[in-house]
Amino acid sequence: MPKDRKLVMVTNDDSIQSNGIIDLARAVASHAEVVIVAPEQPMSATAMSMTFHKPLRVNKVQKGEFECYAVSGSPGDCVMIGINKILPRRPDLVVSGINIGDNNTFQDVMASGTVAAAFEAAITGIPSIAFSLLVDEEALFALEYDQPDFSGAALFAGEIAGDVLSHGMPEGAELLNVNFPSGVTAATEIEITEVGRRKYTDQVIVRKDPRGRPYYWLFGERLSHFPSKTDADAVLTRRKVSITPIVLNLSGPPSSGLEDLRERVRASVRSKLSGRRLRDK
């Protein structure tokens, strides 16, 4: 592997068997050397879970022209193992995807294994990008037979990754969350967006098994409207490519209300401690 050529790690949460990861790797390979490290089985909605309770296995798998590394763990596990043990050196960029299904709004971003892989890389200081493609709901249940066409999304993904490799991560961003509408083409417009709050309603369906014991299905129906300037509005409503800059800072601003809370708790704790001491005498 040439030392003067950029190095990119490619991962996902749909597993090494997804066409999306191969199309992404091919698109990025025109700009850099690529190494694919991905889960051996689908790991959707695993968020930033890590495997600490059992050992992990890594197997080499040939997918097209790529020798890939299939990991028996989560996307976060793949990033940790890939960066620290598999790749010949620290990568210049980590890309994750192309996910089967969009990852818009906090509901998706905080649950997605695809985005979590980008988070895991960004935490270590490596620029990272998550790519996801909106698909019809019916297609999500027939992936073994008919995977989506990733070609349009891969075209954009390769150029976005190439730009970050050449010019660095845009100022103020630590990772990028990129979502494509279904049927994306070279003519599809790009919008810079912010993370929306909600994409689904919350529903819990209760049923009973043959022994009469309840079991639960977690479900949500997609909302019909989204605030302007958000990722969901751009992709789901107006069918644009969404690029959302994300930073690793979940802290809210300090406020007088927080100072008041601290003082009330401090006074309450001291009062209770004083009362205990009196009772113990």
Rounded CA gap, 165 and 20, in Å? 21
Contact present, 73 and 104 (Cβ < 8 Å): no
Is-above-0.85 flag for pTM? Answer: yes
CB 36 within 8 A of CB 66: yes
Here the tokens at position 124 are 């270590």
Specify whether the CB–CB gap between 89 and 2 falls below 8 A: no
Distance of CA 36 to the CA centre of its chain: 16
For the chain, the structural domain boundaries read: 7-197+226-246, 252-281
Residue-by-residue pLDDT tens, the chain, 281 positions: 666 799 999 999 999 999 999 999 999 999 999 999 999 999 999 999 999 999 999 999 999 999 999 999 999 999 999 999 999 999 999 999 999 999 999 999 999 999 999 999 999 999 999 999 999 876 666 555 678 999 999 999 999 999 999 999 999 999 999 999 999 999 999 999 999 999 999 999 999 999 999 999 998 889 999 999 999 999 999 999 999 999 999 999 999 999 999 999 999 999 988 877 767 66
pLDDT more than 90, % of the chain:
88
Cα angle 25, 87, 78 (rounded to 5 degrees) comes to 70
**Distance between CA atoms of residues 118 and 14, nearest Å:** 14
Residue 224 contacts by C-beta under 8 Å, 6 or more apart in sequence? none
| CA-wise closest residue to 11 among 72, 61, 74, 78 | 78
Residue 22, preceding peptide bond in cis (omega within 30° of 0): no
For the CA atoms of 31, 127, 92, 29, the dihedral, rounded to the nearest 10 degrees, stands at: -20
Question: Sign of torsion, CA 27 42 193 121?
Answer: negative
Q: Class of 7-197+226-246 per CATH?
A: alpha beta
- At 139 the pLDDT is 64
Number of H helices, E strands in the chain: 7, 11
Tokens in use for 40?
Answer: 């051996």
Other CB atoms closer than 10 Å to residue 85's CB: what's the count? 10
Give the model confidence (pLDDT) of 116-131 as tens digits. Answer: 999 999 999 999 999 9
Q: In this structure, are residues 218 and 201 in contact, taking their beta carbons and an 8 Å threshold?
A: no
pLDDT of residue 157: 98
